[in-house]
A and B are shown apart, each in its own frame.
With several copies, the nearest count.
Chain A
Amino acid sequence: KDMSNFIEIENSKQKMQMSIHQFTNTCFKQCITHVGNDGTLSSQEDLCLRNCLNRFLDTNIQIVKGLQNMK
C-alpha cells in the first residue's frame, strides 16, 4: 500500500512537472522576444509570463466546464 501511494504521489508530481514544462514553453515563446544583454527577465516580461499562465489556465478551466455542460 505504501508502494502504491508512493507511485501515485510521484505520478502526480510528474504530471505537474510536465505541465510546467509545457506552460513555460508556450509562455516563453509569447513573452520573450529578445534575449538582451544581461540574461535577466525584465519586470514586464515576468508579468507577461505570469499573466500568460493565468489566462491559459482560465481558458483550460472554461473549456473543461464547457465540455461538461455539453454532455
Chain B
Amino acid sequence: QISEELAIVNATELVNKATENCFELCMNKPYTDKNELCVDQCLKKYMQSWNSISKAYLDRIQQASAAGEI
C-alpha cells in the first residue's frame, strides 16, 4: 500500500512536469489553438529524456559505488 501511494506521487509529478514543459514548448500566445500533435510528440520526447537521464544517473551511482566513493 505504501508502494502504491508512492507510485501515485511519482505519476503525479511526471504529469505535472510534462504538462509544464510541453505547454511551454507547444503553445504560442495568444493561446488560441490547441496543438495536439506537438503535445503528443513532446510527451514522447519527455519520456525518452526521463529514461535517458534515469539510466545515466544509475550508471553514475554504480561508477561511484565501484570506485568506493559511496
Contact = CB atoms under 8 A, between A and B. Distances in A.
Q: How large is the interface on A (under 10, 10 to 19, 20 to 34, 35 or more residues)?
A: 35 or more
Contacts of A18: 10, 13
Contacts, number: 144
A17 B50 CA distance: 10
A35 B38 contact: yes
Contacts of B3: 10
Contacts of B26: 35, 59
Size class of the contact patch on chain B: 35 or more
Interface string B25-46: 1110111111010111111111
Chain B binding surface, main DSSP class? helix
6 contacts: A14-B6, A30-B31, A40-B48, A41-B45, A50-B53, A58-B34
Interface in A1-43: 6-7, 10, 13-14, 16-21, 23-25, 27-32, 34-41
B42 A35 contact: yes
B48 to A, nearest CB: 5
A24 B57 CA distance: 10
A48 B18 CA distance: 19
Given A28-B46, A38-B41, A54-B60, A59 B27 contact: yes
